[in-house]
Homo-oligomer: A and B are copies of this chain.
Amino acid sequence: MANDEVILLDFWPSMFGMRLRIALAEKEIKYEYKDEDLRNKSPLLLQMNPIHKKIPVLIHNGKPICESIIGVEYIDEVWKDKAPFLPSDPYERAQARFWADYVDKKLFDSGRKLWTTKGEEQEAAKKDFIECLKVLEGALGEKPYFGGDNFGFVDIALIGFYSWFHSYETYGNFSTEAECPKFVAWAKRCMQRDSVAKSLPDQHKVLDFVKTLRHKFGIE
C-alpha cells in the first residue's frame, strides 16, 4: 500500500469529513487534503460524486468512495492490519452499525435546529438533542469507548460532532456537561487521541463559522 494515492475532498467544519480524517489518521495513512468551497464546488468533486455532489469524498487510486460511514468502513477493510474499527463478531458489528446509523439519523438534525430555530421549535430540538445524547450514554455504559476498550467505529462516527458542541450550547443555552456528564467524559477521552485532536477544528472556530452562517441565513 506504499504507493497508494489517497485524496480527501472535504470542508473543514464537516463532522462527516472529520470521520474520514480520524479514520485515515488511526490507520496512519498519508493523504492529500483538499478543502472545498461549497458555493463553488470543484470539477473534481462534481466528477467524483456526481450523484450527491457532496463532501466528503475519499479518492483511493483514482476511485471515489462517497458517504462518510461507507468510507470509514472501506478504510477499515482495505487497511485491515492496523487498529480495526469494527469488531470481528457479526452481532457486535451489527450493533456498531446500528449506533453509527442512529447518530446519522438523529444527531445532525436536532443539532442543526439548535442554531437555526427559535422558541418552541428550538426547545423541542434541545429536548431531542439531549435525549439523543442520553440514549448514546446508555449505549456507552461503563465502557471507555463505544468500541469497548478500543476506540472504534461508533467513536469515529460520533466524535466529530463534539467540535460543534460549543455552538450548540451557545445558541441552545444549555450545558452538555450538566446534562450528560458521561458523554462529555467520553468526548474528552477521545480528544486525548492524536488522531482526533488533529482532525477536529477548534470549537471557537466552529462557533465563528456558525455565526457567519446565521448572519447569512438572516437568523438573529
Say whether A51 faces chain B, with CB atoms less than 8 Å apart.
Answer: yes
- Bound CA–CA A51/B63 (angstroms): 36
- Residues of B within 8 Å of A51, CB to CB, are 102, 135
Say whether A217 faces chain B, with CB atoms less than 8 Å apart.
Answer: no
* Contact residues of A between 101 and 128, Cβ < 8 Å to B: 101-102
- Residues of B within 8 Å of A98, CB to CB, are 65-67, 70
Q: How many copies of this chain sit in the oligomeric assembly?
A: 2
Main secondary structure of the interface of A (DSSP, over half): helix
Say whether A43 faces chain B, with CB atoms less than 8 Å apart.
Answer: no
Say whether A71 faces chain B, with CB atoms less than 8 Å apart.
Answer: yes
Which of A10-18, A88-96, A164-172 is found at the contact surface with chain B? A88-96
5 A-B contacts (beta carbon < 8 Å):
A65-B94, A66-B98, A67-B101, A74-B94, A77-B90
Please list the residues of chain A having a beta carbon within 8 angstroms of any beta carbon in chain B. Answer: 51, 60, 63, 65-67, 70-71, 73-74, 77-78, 90-91, 93-94, 97-98, 101-102, 135
